[in-house]
């Protein structure tokens, strides 16, 4: 699996995260205590979690031969508490799930920590980037939760989670997506965004694995030159935005912005351009593909609708560009998809 480019630095320590592999178990056994993990998070089996967890992430130190220094396992279902009678364990699980829903994390947008271990010396740098990668790997999640005894607050993972509810010997903790990957702000692009957007677009234009594939390049950008990084006309992006603003009923260019750390400064992490499909294009597509399930891209007929078919306009849009910062691939695409639906109705 490809390494996920999530890093955190503190002093001279730097960790990079990636999905766990079965052969990581050898190094993880050196600092992940299964008995201790079980007492905190519930039934624990390292090998099974690496193979079967919804997401299992490790932190590695690239300055020390890619040594594995951290481990985080996320599961869709809450782990069964360890060391208590089964009926009490089930009762705790029901309590935790109920409290999670009450504070905004129902089961369809939440997952649970099933294990987390960090090698000595990396306690302050490993958990946050692993958690960030887990959210990137699971774009549907709004929160990662822990149901555990309060002792978990003294663990490295404790600083990344907030206590949401508790009983005498058990508590619910949560890390929201916004606390790790701040929610994006999506708006219509302006012509004066050009200069700030250019680095993002140029980076994607030179990346053969860019999230948008061929759509990461500017549409109809003209001939490429070395000076424009493969973008063609140096003002093609500004022209694309300008044309969309001149024809807002049929074209739209949206940008996604994220806040940089605690500075409050916003930076661009995504841009998407769409055009309304016209009748000629809809007819062409219907001739090439079976679009009956989508009413051939035309409005669904209503009972008693006497409108002439030729007078109807297609109800579809075509994405002409999709450029996303790698670190925000899932989040940016999802945020822009929602906004496109609102803007282009």
pLDDT digits (tens, 9 = 90+) for 300-315: 766 555 554 556 889 8
User: Tell me, what's the pLDDT at 227?
Assistant: 46
Q: Is the dihedral of CA 216, 222, 223, 225 positive or negative?
A: negative
**How many CA atoms are closer than 13 Å to the CA of 155, on its beta-carbon side?**
30
> Where does residue 161 rank: exposed (0-12), middle (13-18), buried (19+ CB within 10 A)?
buried
- The most distant pair of C-alpha atoms in the chain lies apart, rounded to whole Å, by 74
Q: What is the pTM of this model?
A: 0.65
Q: How far apart are the first and last CA of the chain?
A: 39
Read off the tokens for 248: 């807002």
Between these two residues, 305 and 292, which has the higher pLDDT value? 292
Q: Report, as an integer, the average pLDDT of 241-265.
A: 87
Q: What is the pLDDT of residues 166-190, one digit of tens each?
A: 998 899 999 998 888 777 889 999 9
User: Tell me, what's the pLDDT at 229?
Assistant: 45
User: Tell me, what's the pLDDT at 37?
Assistant: 94
User: Tell me, what's the pLDDT at 178?
Assistant: 84
> Where does residue 304 rank: exposed (0-12), middle (13-18), buried (19+ CB within 10 A)?
exposed
């Amino acid at each position: 699996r490809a390494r996920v480019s999530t890093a955190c630095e503190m002093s001279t320590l730097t960790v990079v995260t990636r999905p766990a592999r079965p052969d990581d178990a050898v190094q993880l056994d050196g600092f992940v205590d299964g008995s201790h993990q079980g007492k905190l998070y519930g039934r624990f089996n390292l090998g099974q979690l690496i193979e079967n967890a919804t997401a299992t992430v490790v932190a590695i130190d690239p300055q020390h031969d890619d040594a594995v220094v951290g481990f985080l396992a996320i599961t869709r279902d809450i782990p069964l508490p360890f060391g208590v009678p089964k009926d009490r364990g089930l009762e705790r699980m029901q309590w935790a799930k109920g409290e999670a829903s009450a504070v905004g994390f129902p089961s369809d947008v939440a997952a649970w920590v099933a294990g987390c271990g960090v090698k000595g010396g990396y306690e302050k740098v490993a958990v946050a980037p692993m958690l960030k990668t887990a959210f990137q790997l699971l774009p549907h999640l709004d929160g990662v939760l822990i149901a555990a005894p309060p002792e978990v607050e003294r663990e490295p993972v404790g600083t990344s989670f907030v206590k949401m509810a508790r009983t005498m010997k058990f508590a619910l903790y949560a890390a929201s997506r916004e606390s790790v990957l701040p929610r994006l702000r999506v708006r219509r692009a302006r012509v004066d965004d050009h200069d700030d957007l250019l680095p993002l677009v140029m980076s994607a234009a030179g990346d053969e694995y860019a999230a948008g594939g061929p759509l990461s390049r500017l549409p109809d950008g003209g001939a490429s030159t070395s000076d424009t990084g493969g973008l063609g006309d140096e003002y093609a992006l500004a022209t694309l935005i300008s044309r969309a603003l001149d024809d807002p009923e049929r074209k739209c260019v949206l940008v996604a912005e994220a806040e940089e750390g605690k500075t409050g400064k916003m930076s661009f992490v995504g841009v998407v351009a769409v055009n309304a499909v016209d009748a000629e294009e809809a007819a062409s597509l219907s001739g090439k593909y079976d679009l009956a399930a989508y009413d051939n891209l035309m409005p669904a007929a209503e009972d008693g609708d006497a409108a002439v078919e030729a007078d109807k306009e297609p109800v579809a849009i075509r994405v002409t560009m999709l450029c996303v910062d790698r670190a925000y691939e899932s989040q940016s695409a999802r945020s822009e998809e929602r906004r496109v639906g609102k803007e282009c109705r």
